[in-house]
Structure 1
Amino acid sequence: MLEDALSHRSDGLDIVIGYVETHGRAETTALAARLEAIPSIRVDYQGLTLRDPDIDAILRRRPQIVLIDELAHTDAPGSRHAKRHQDIEEILHAGISVYTTVNIQHIESQNDIVAQITGIRVAETVPDTFFYDADEICLIDIPPEELQIRLRAGKVYVRDMAEQAVQRFFSVENLLALRQIALRFMAQVTDRQMLTRMRARAIPGPWPAGERLLVGIRPGPTADQMVRAAYRLADRFRADWIVISIGTETEQNLTDQERRWLNDAMETARSLGGRIVRYRGGDVPGELIRYARQHNVTMIMLGKPRGLDIFYSPVYRTMVRSKGIDIFLYEPKAAVSIPIHRQLPQFVSPNLIISAILIALVTIVNYFLRNVISSSNLLIIQLVPVVAAALLFRRGTAIITAIASILIFDFAFVAPYYTLTIDDWDYFISFVGYVVIAFIISGLATRLRYLLPQIRRSEAKVEAVAVLSRDLVNVAHRQEIFDTLYRHMKQFGEGAFAVLTPGAGGLFVNVGDPDYPLTQKERTIAQWAFENGRTAGRGTETLPMGIGHYVPMKAFAVTFGVLAFAFRDPEEVLTPENKEILQTMAYLGALALEEVE
């Protein structure tokens, strides 16, 4: 990078160093000393002095090209951005070109593969989509033996770290594998660039068929690994890909850790360019297949079933019902320990216990009424636990309850008593009706039980997109647009909301709640979102320590203002899919404002 910079500077380009980490290497230090350097910011954190590029100083200097080392670095706590690649994106947005460096193990989609090979998981990663916007990617590749010589000579790390690095990470075997991964990744990037260029110039194909991959994930420690594996698979097939999470009745109350696993996986999918879908359903295989049929999915990726209930697992049931759809099974790259109770089939559930208690209570009541009312009325009473189970529980529980109730009634109240034989075939017809009733009622109740919460959660989407679009069609003045946006923002959740628009002294509240916490700190975050055309604040990796979540109203190259959301419970509301809704609201508002300009 430094050698290329010196070469371009001799051609008359204005090139400066924004941040370079020499690691004490003499050759690197000598090269860096020949270029102008913008002093970096120093941050004291827990007894350490951390250095980061000074973005504001770079923007004031406005060189043609700035060098910023270590692309995958995590910025110091309290910095404007959480990651260095976001610093670079802001600099690029200002019209300044950037040269940067990164190792193959820091690329998001390759993280799991590298961890499997080296036994070391790299925490700092960069989304693959960042590289697809690059004008040029240069692969630095030398034979493993030569790299080890450079390591031991102190040309990569200082000498006291070099030998340890060779033994732990940079063995010949690891380097060969990393080299192959880097070459394969470069081939993928080059192939993508070629296809993009061919499409842009309408060059005849052959073009790949329209494949679509559906990835089913559950809250767990390997969910984000599975998303990255899905991205690699979709990239290989040039396929659109969708990440879906279906919450079941048993997953209504996720733990904080499980919620973080799921949200992290969804955020990983968003950063890699995937579409995310998240809703509730009673029958996971049925919901997966239904969604796949409705959205023309050609491939489904699921986690490989583990444990002792493999043939009862949702994965196996999905495979059986997925006629015409290819199934891919994902195996976690790291060892995953599953508690024994999670591996066993769940034959006895709390719902079955409750149903058994109801059957016992009704049977006792019928025992005392057997000489008071007729057998047909006793049968109606015995139907109560069946109806209750069908309304409250899943279909399997309802059918088991119906069969158990039938057998107990036949044993205790149908002649010949205390046997399981039936002399009167009218009872047999009634018993068959038991099962049919349980099946029908439970089916309808299950659909209602899971559809109603889904409908309620979809109301926000409908209100934010469809109704907002309709309301914005008929407005004729800018202020009406701001008022309409504010009204719809208030319907999205509890908290304080405002529409911020630019004025002589910066952003001000055009319309909003009088108690919106627009402190100087919040105003600075909103101003950054406005100037850069990107979401910032709470729930993002840009200035995340703020109270509000700020979404710019940007259409094409013009930003008209900022939507400000200070939710009462931001962790609950600012899910990946909800963030997309807020961005859609802002975009619709920007389009409407552009029409009335």
Structure 2
Amino acid sequence: MKAGEDEGRPLPEDLLGIARRSEEGRGRLTIYLGYAAGVGKTYTMLQDALQRRGEGVDIVIGYVETHGRPETEALAARLEVVPPAIIGYQGLDLREMDLDAIIRRHPEVALVDELAHTNAPGSRHVKRYEDIEELLRAGISVYTTVNIQHIESQNDAVAQITGIRVLETVPDTFPSGADEIRLVDVTPEELRLRLRAGKVYVRNMAEAAIHRFFSTGNLLALRQLTLRYVATATDQQMIGHMRARAIPGPWPAAERLLVGIRPGPAAGQLVRAGYRLAVRLDADWVVLTVDLESDRPLTLKERVWLTEALEAGRRLEGRIVRLRGEDVADEILRYARRNNVTMIMLGKPRGVDILFSPVYRILRRSRGIDIFLYEPKGDLVRIPIRRQVPHFLSWDYAASLVLIAAAWSASVLLRGVIQPEFLLVFQLLPVVVTALFFRRGAVLFAAVASILAFDLIFVKPYYSLTIDDWSYFTAFAGYVVIALVVSRLAYRLRRTLPRIRESEAEVEAVAGLSRDLARAGTRQDVFDTLARHMQGFEPGSFAVLVPGPAGPHVQAGDAAYPLPAKERSIAQWAYDNGEAAGRGTDNLPSGTGHYVPVRAHRLIFGVMAFAFDDPEGVLTPENKEVFQTMALLAALALERMG
């Protein structure tokens, strides 16, 4: 039992969670959640807003979409409206919430409809929920609306129910931080009556909607899904309340879930399903993928699938692990045993993959670990059969054949000069060379092929694969054992060396930075040290920026770091809001550079600026976590200096 529990007091980490949620000056978030369009989310939100205004609360409409419904328009007309911003795009004028105008107006509460909306290109943020996050940080409380199909972890289940996949989603971490989730609910029968009356869609669209998305079965399933989601959210709030007040209870044992993904169309679904399971079981979770050393290069579409899945895991606060090896099952099980994983979730094999999938080997060898198999939902993009079949034959087999031919030719030249038993040593050379540079399948192939070639030419009866002298058979058996041992040792060496290099890079980026920061005597020393370690990544331009009268300027690093007006404004936004921005983020992603605030607690000391020559290859989820850690270490060092 932990000390805090033993003394009847809340644990420090639980109090810290409360402190973060009630951060001084931060607005409160209220989400109106429904199971389908037309249940009355916007109408209910406006009713509550009018009631709050009657109580003396300063409340405005930041953005409300009435969809032409007279009752909703009548309520909205009674509230102050901050005019929307007009953004031109491809000859169209798009209406978007004017974030800066709302912040300047600074009401107590702002109404912002359609939480999952994607902003027009050129907006400060990609998604509206990120606009809302900025309003909350500015001390403005927000009422907003969303349907269950727009919650990222529920998206796959809704697609399976309705046959329609919604593309605009909100990561679950955002609604999970809401101060209140209000369920707006009507019966499916009442909703269908509203549809027929033209209160949801115009009449010529209502009948089609009723027979497709709004069928009774669909609505019942969506309603049940929404009720379960709200129940889970309420349960989490209750647990937080109990922990914060040290109320005794039977807490579940710690679980750790590993979600193994491969580059495919179902990778994102698998990550979201893993998140739902982790939340349900209150488990730590990790998203793991294995890059096969001997596999074909990924296609552009496969790289997109994998990157999107890893980004989804990062958004849902899972740990991202990317390993490199020759066998997926070996790497997954090795990581699971070393990291006390209690559950592994994998995709159920489909198509030709049923014959070659590593899932079966994991099932056989995962003693003591629970295995969950996920069935992908909906119609997925089919992977060509040639991409599903393992790449058995490749250039390393051809190279092995060349080596065997060279050894065989040398043996022919030396035939009659030395004994056949000694010629066998020449046949071992291509096996050793193959083991040092190629995969294990090629090594086994080289061993068998070289033995057969030697037996065919040098062992009586000649030009036959039969053996008269059993001493040769013993030598051949020993030869195979030696080949396999050499192959295993060489494989371990090849697998270990890249990991040592990767570990050295991470240690240099984190532990090395921490050590050097401890020696820094002044604030400038800290900035110089941070800039020096930033240069340890891929080629590019790097700098530490600090605010000034004319905007951010280079304090350390490359004095010629490119800072045109657009990049300067992105860096300034990252500093003002304490969030990463620019390339590779959802905040002002059209920039060239990647900007990470040097932040500890509520203090922000500057911005790390990265302008990589190959940003797509460097801005991986793993590297982004390293950047965040480096920024935190530097901020803590600056904070200690006062």
TM-score normalized with structure 2 length: 0.90
**Match of 2:73?**
29
CA contact (8 A) 1:112 1:121 kept: yes
Q: What is the number of equivalent residue pairs in this alignment?
A: 597
Alpha-carbon shift at residue 380 of structure 1 (Å): 1.7
Partner of 1:516: 561
Residue 184 of structure 2 is aligned to residue 152 of structure 1: no
Q: What whole-Å deviation, never above 9, does each CA across 1:415-445 have from its counterpart, x for those lacking one?
A: 2323434344442332122212221221122
Does the 8 A contact of 2:153 with 2:272 survive in 1?
yes
Query: Is residue 314 from structure 1 mapped to residue 358 from structure 2 by the alignment?
Result: yes
Instruction: Write out the 4+ residue segments of structure 1 that deviate beyond 6 Å after TM superposition.
Output: none
Which of 493, 513, 524 is the equivalent residue of 1:468? 513
* Partner residue of 2:435 out of 390, 398, 409: 390
The aligned counterpart of 2:285 is 241
Give 1:487's aligned residue.
532
TM superposition shift of 1:171: 1.3
The aligned amino acid for 1:577 is E
Alignment of 1:202-351 (within 5 A): 202-251=246-295, 253-308=297-352, 310=354, 312-336=356-380, 337-344=382-389, 347-351=392-396
Q: For 1:143 and 1:285, how far apart are their aligned partners in 2?
A: 48
Report the Cα distance in structure 2 between the residues aligned to 1:56 and 1:452, rounded to whole angstroms.
51
Equivalent runs, 1:415-564 vs 2, <5 Å: 415-564=460-609
| Contact 1:538–1:545 under 8 Å retained in 2 | yes
Where does the alignment leave 5 or more consecutive residues of structure 1 unmatched? none
Q: 2:140 aligns with which of 71, 96, 101?
A: 96
Identity over aligned pairs, percent: 65
Measured in 2, the distance between the counterparts of 1:575 and 1:345 equals 26
Partner Cα distance (1:348, 1:483) in 2: 51
CA distance in 2 between counterparts of 1:21 and 1:74 reads 14
Residue 258 to residue 458, structure 1, CA distance change in 2 (3 Å): farther
Mapped to 1, the partners of 2:296 and 2:126 lie a distance apart of 31
Q: Paired residue for 1:70?
A: 114
The 2-side partners of 1:143 and 1:472 are apart by 61
Distance 1:49 1:383 in 2: 73
Q: Note if contact 2:109-2:143 (Cα within 8 Å) is conserved in structure 1.
A: yes
Are 1:129 and 2:173 counterparts?
yes
1:560 to 1:345, Cα distance in 2 relative to 1, 3 A: closer
- Residue 55 of structure 2 corresponds to 11
After superposition, the Cα gap between the structure-2 partners of 1:346 and 1:307, relative to the gap in structure 1 and judged at 3 Å, is: farther
Q: Which moved more, 1:512-521 or 1:15-24?
A: 512-521
Q: Cα 1:268–1:158, aligned 2, differ >3 Å: closer, same or farther?
A: same
Shift of 1:356: 3.6
Report the equivalent of 2:92: 48
- Asked if 1:109 is matched to 2:128, the reply is no
Instruction: Give the letter aligned to residue 391 of structure 1.
Output: L
Alignment correspondent of 1:573: 618
Higher relative contact order (CA 8 A, sep 6+): 2
TM-score, normalised relative to structure 1:
0.96
For residues 233-285 of structure 1, the C-alpha deviation after alignment (integer angstroms, 9 at most, x for no partner) is: 11121111100111002346322222211111011001111110012112211
Supply the distance in 1 between the matched residues of 2:403 and 2:533 (Cα, whole angstroms): 46
Match of 1:406 in 2: 451
Shift of 1:489: 0.8
SS of the equivalent of 2:503 reads: helix
| Structure 2 unaligned blocks of 5 or more | 1-44
State the Cα deviation string for residues 522-546 of structure 1 (Å, max 9, x = none). 1111111111111111111111111
Change (3 A) 1:341 1:507: closer
Distance 2:540 2:134 in 1: 29
Q: Which letter does structure 1 place at the counterpart of 2:602? A: A
Q: Deviations over 1:271-308 (max 9, x none)?
A: 11111001211221111111001100001111112344
Deviation at 1:366, TM superposition (A): 3.0
What is the match of residue 164 of structure 1? 208
Separation of aligned partners in 2, 1:243 and 1:343: 22
Deviations 1:479-501 (A, max 9, x none): 11011001101112211111111
Rounded Cα–Cα distance in structure 1 between residues aligned with 2:503 and 2:122:
35
Q: Secondary structure at the match of 1:236?
A: helix
- The answer on whether the counterparts of 1:23 and 1:158 sit within 8 Å (CA) in structure 2 is no
C-alpha displacement of 1:357: 4.4
CA RMSD in angstroms comes to: 1.8
CA distance in 2, matches of 1:578, 1:3: 46
Moved more, 79-88 or 155-164: 155-164
Alpha-carbon spacing, 1:254–1:348, altered in 2? closer, same or farther (3 Å) = closer
**Whole-Å Cα distance in 2 between the matches of residues 345 and 555 of structure 1?**
48
Greater CA deviation, 446-455 or 237-246? 446-455
Counterpart mapping for 1:183-202 below 5 A: 183-202=227-246
After alignment, is 169-178 or 366-375 more displaced?
366-375
CA distance in 1, matches of 2:343, 2:442: 32
